[in-house]
């Protein structure tokens, strides 16, 4: 979908007020781009999306009351016409293809947002998909199923999107019962996901997984 409105209405969905302020400042340097909504979580975002006439939502992966991945999934179920651009500190190689498959139109690493956020917005509004050149090559390699694709597969890449969501919450130190509540799953289901994650990452104990997840998150700058 290509947006042709003279004034583009944008929502920022991020749980860090300082980040939202910085993104707003960058975006509103453009005369036709206007940030009309700022929220920090999934529920507030869904409420705003239902009541505001928006063209684009810029969504973080980690939110105050849940996951940006879950927000994207729920927006697609509602058949929302709002374009989604993900902006996050998490590794683009691990997340970009996943969120695009779910319905997002692009992925921007926050570390590079100062140089790329407006370009990414323009690309998405024109009906295209935006990822960095490196991530684009990775995605094309995987889609081509050639020998080079195997070079990019890491242990984290072996996790399903739902497993990665649970792993992210574990990295943030969220208890299993709270993960279940935020993802609208039963605690038993979340525990099953945790066991699958341990198996795929070759980790025996929950405490080891928590340390590994925490170290991984720190390596992302999150």
Does residue 93 have a pLDDT over 80?
no
Does residue 190 have a pLDDT over 90?
yes
Structural domains in the chain, sorted by start: 8-140 (3.40.50.2300), 156-219 (1.10.10.10)
CB 98 within 8 A of CB 214: no
State the residue for tokens 């749980």.
15
**Beta-carbon neighbour count of residue 87 at 10 Å?**
24
Rounded distance between C-alpha atoms, residue 196 and residue 203, angstroms: 10
Average pLDDT over every residue of 59-74: 92
DSSP three-state, residue 41:
coil
Question: DSSP readout, 4-32?
Answer: --SSEEEEEE-S-HHHHHHHHHHHTTSTT
CB 13 within 8 A of CB 82: no
What does pTM read for this prediction? 0.78
**Average pLDDT of the chain, as a whole number:** 87
Q: 163: exposed, middle or buried (C-beta count within 10 Å: 0-12, 13-18, 19+)?
A: middle
Does residue 151 have a pLDDT over 60?
no
Share of the chain above pLDDT 70, in %: 86
**Beta-carbon neighbour count of residue 191 at 10 Å?**
17
pLDDT of residue 152: 43
CB 156 within 8 A of CB 39: no
- Could you tell me which residue, 134 or 28, shows the higher pLDDT? 28
pLDDT of residue 148: 45
141: Cβ contacts below 8 Å, ≥ 6 apart: 148, 149, 151, 152
Kindly give the residue spans of alpha helices, DSSP state H, lying in 103-205. 113-125, 133-144, 161-171, 176-183, 187-200
pLDDT-derived band of residue 134, with 50, 70 and 90 as boundaries? low
pLDDT-derived band of residue 217, with 50, 70 and 90 as boundaries? confident
Average pLDDT over every residue of 105-110: 93
């Amino acid at each position: 979908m290509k947006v042709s409105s003279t004034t583009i209405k944008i929502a920022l969905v991020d749980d860090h007020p300082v980040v939202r302020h910085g993104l707003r400042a960058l975006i509103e340097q453009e005369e036709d781009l206007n940030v009309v909504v700022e929220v920090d979580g999934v529920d507030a975002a869904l409420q705003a999306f239902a009541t505001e006439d928006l063209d684009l939502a810029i969504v973080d992966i980690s939110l105050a009351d849940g996951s940006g991945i879950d927000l994207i999934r729920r927006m697609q179920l509602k058949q929302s016409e709002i374009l989604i651009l993900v902006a996050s500190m998490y590794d683009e190689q691990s997340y970009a293809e996943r969120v695009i498959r779910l319905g997002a139109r692009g992925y921007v690493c926050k570390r590079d947002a100062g140089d790329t956020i407006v370009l990414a917005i323009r690309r998405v509004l024109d009906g295209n998909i935006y990822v960095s050149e490196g991530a684009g090559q990775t995605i094309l390699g995987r889609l081509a199923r050639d020998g080079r694709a195997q070079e990019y597969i890491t242990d984290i890449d072996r996790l399903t999107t739902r497993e990665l969501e649970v792993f992210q919450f574990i990295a943030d130190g969220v208890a299993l019962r709270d993960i279940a509540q935020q993802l609208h799953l039963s605690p038993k289901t979340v525990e099953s996901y945790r066991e699958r994650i341990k198996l795929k990452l070759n980790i025996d104990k929950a405490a080891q997984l928590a340390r590994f997840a925490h170290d991984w998150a720190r390596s992302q700058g999150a």
